[in-house]
Structure formats: C-alpha cells, structure tokens
Chain A
Amino acid sequence: MTIARFRAGALAASVLVFPALAACSSDGGSSENATAVAVTSTADACELSATTAPAGPVTFTVRNDGNETTEFYVYEEDGTTIVSEVENIGPGTSRELSVDLEAGTYETACKPGQAGDGIRGDFTVS
C-alpha cells in the first residue's frame, strides 16, 4: 500500500509539474525578436500580412473574422507534414502561434470549419 501511495503521489506531482516544465522548455521563441505576422481567417480567405520572414522565431497572430471555428497550420514544403498548428480559434477571437522557422519554403493554411485541406498559401523564410 505504501508503494502504491508513493506511486500515486509521484504521478500527481508529475501531472502538476508537466505543464510547467513544458512552458519553460518552450522553443516557440520569445516575442521581442520574433517576426510578427498577422493572419486573418474568414470563410473564404486566409490573409497574411507578410508571406516572407527572416529565419528565426515567427509569431503568427491568427484572428478569426469568419462565422465558423478555424485552425491555422504551418506545413513543410510537402504541404502535409505539420511544422506547427493552433486549433480552436473561435469566431471573434485571436490566437498566437509561435514557431522557429529555418530558411526554406513552407505552406500555410487556414481551416475554417476545422476540416479539409484549408486555404493554402506559400510562406518563404530566408
């Protein structure tokens, strides 16, 4: 019983510590020197304030101006491998996506309605 108790206690502690640890180990890049890109997602458009950025941390601020819940993705050049994503962007809300991007070509996508391939665009990091 003592061992079981200990194990349960350890698990409880890990549940508590896990998010805190993850928050510290974030490689999302700090906001000071990150390139800021504003994204506006609507029912039929996905507008980015810039489609190029220098290599390094990029912060996408995704605003949902549509009526449906949307998601925003950054894919690798193949258009299928997810580099980073943010889900559950309700209408009228904004969510940030911070990601470290190396030089290369990427694809971005807004997914109003949370399904399908989404509205794609190219994103170049140099």
Chain B
Amino acid sequence: MFANFLIGLREGLEASLVVGILVAYLARTHRRDLLPKVWLGVGFAVAVSLAAGAALTFGPRGLSFEAQEMIGGTLSIVAVGFVTWMIFWMARTSRALRSELEGRMAVAVAAGGTSLVLLSALAVGREGLETALFVWAAAQATGSSTSPIIGALLGLAVAVVLGIGVYKGALHLNLATFFRWTGAALVVVAGGVLAYGIHDLQEARFLPGLNTIAFDVSDTIPPGSWYGTLLKGTVNFSPRTTVLEAIAWTCYVVPVLFLFWRSVRTPAPRPTSKPTHPTPDAVSV
C-alpha cells in the first residue's frame, strides 16, 4: 500500500502546491471573487482526465506510448508558459505593493479570468491522464485487493492536504515575503516541469538524447523512496537526468529567476499621476 500511496502523493503534489499558491495569492489580494474560475479549471481537468483514463482502461483501445508521452510532454511545456505568466503577474503585483498604490494591485490581479481557468486546468491536467490511468488500475485491482486503491487515494488526499497547508501558511506570511518566496518556488517548479516535458518527448523519440545522461544518482535518491517521491512530486527532480533536461532546466531557471528577483526588488517603474479606478477586466491578458 505504501508504494501506491507514494505514487498518489507524487502525482498530486505539484498540482496541489501550484493551486495552493494561486488560491493564497487571490486571497491575499482580496480577489476571492475569482476563485470560481480556479475551481472551474481544476474540476474541468479532473473530469477530462478521469473520463479519458476510464475510456482507455475499460475501453477496447489503449493509448499508444508515443501518444501518451506526446500529451504529457506537450501539456507540460504549455503549463510552463502559464506558470511563468503567473510568476511575472505576481511580481508585477509585488512591485505595485511597494509603490503603495493599492489600486494598482487590484489592476494587476484582474489579469485575465480565462487565463486563470487555463492555468488551474493545466496545473492539474498536465499529469492528469497518467494519474487517472494509475487510479483506474488501482480501482480495477479491488477484486483481489483494496489496498492499492486505498493507498492511491490516501496519497492524493495527503497531496491536497499539503496544498491546503501551503495556502494556510501563505496567509500568515508578510506580503512582500510571500511574493518573493512563492515566486522563486514557482520558478523552480516550472523548471522541473519543463525538464519533465523534455524527458517525455525524449521517451517518445520526438527529441533525441534519452540515453545521454548528465548525472544518475538513483542509488542515493531511489525513485521509490519517500524523499525521492517528495523531490519528484514538488520540483520534478529526476535522479537520472539527461543532458538535454539539465540544459533546458538551467536555461529556464537561471534567467527567469534573475528577471524575477530583479523585478521584485526594483521599485514600481511607472508611478503615474492618479490611480484610476480599477475595473475587473481592465488588463485582461
């Protein structure tokens, strides 16, 4: 049961952390009215994943390996784009906070409701199909043993609880600290998602170099261990990382982290005369 628990935890953790941070962000900027958009995205992703997973598990046709890797890889890379957008959107709010123009914060927050739905859907749906296939396989095994499904669901539940923990913790942080650290954390998460996407595309042979390894620490950090699971589930650390993954990770994390830090450290760049009254969709992206 423990191994199934760890898979559930790993698959759910990253999505739960991203959604936890997003919800905390909306709460801190007094935009709880946008929360339904987040839940819409989450619900949509869960429903589509479960339905597709059930069709593939119980239906006559399986999904080809390449197709599944292409879905996982492509969704991951698209998700990186959205999380990056979220990072700089938060940085902009943080800058506005420093300039002490309350109104600006609301403007920055209002950025695109549709984007919020998509961001939440991608955060959850990126790994959704693989997670659903795993859950349905565990459900199928209930004839002989219920321990796989119990383990899987407990793992997912603990992932959700940890996401709620991040949300609650973030509520008590100083606002500037909140933006700085959640932003930096999201950069590292997104870098991991990018590397993961690259790996999927390498496995599907869409990209070369699957066996050109940068480092392999599988002996020190076994993928089946609880710490290997946590590292994989949060920052997508792969103990056996290809050169292409390592390059992609570095080329993403280093510049984005630099731009993010510079962005949150610089005072507001354009303190215009009068803060206009913010309208919810004023800066829709």
- Residue ranges of A at the interface with B (Cβ–Cβ < 8 Å): 1, 4-5, 8-9, 11-12, 15-16, 18-20, 22-23, 25-32, 59, 67-69, 80-99, 113-116
Contacts and interface: CB of A to CB of B under 8 A. Distances in A.
B3 A27 contact: no
Nearest to A68: B224
User: Which of A83, A92, A116 has the largest number of chain B CB atoms within 10 A?
Assistant: A92
A69 B63 contact: no
Contact of A26 (B7, B67, B112, B151): B67
Interface in B1-56: 1, 3-4, 6-7, 11, 44, 48-49, 52, 55-56
A31 B61 CA distance: 7
A11 B74 CA distance: 12
A20 to B, nearest CB: 7
A115 B140 contact: no
B65 A89 contact: no
B201 to A, nearest CB: 12
A4 B281 CA distance: 12
Interface of B: 1, 3-4, 6-7, 11, 44, 48-49, 52, 55-56, 60-65, 67-68, 70-71, 74-75, 78, 112, 114-115, 117-118, 121-122, 125, 129-130, 133-134, 137-138, 140-141, 144-145, 147-148, 151-152, 203, 205, 210-211, 218, 222-224, 239-240, 281, 284-285
B222 to A, nearest CB: 6
B62 A97 contact: yes
B112 A4 contact: yes
Contact of B151 (A1, A9, A83, A90): A90
Contact of B224 (A12, A25, A113): A113
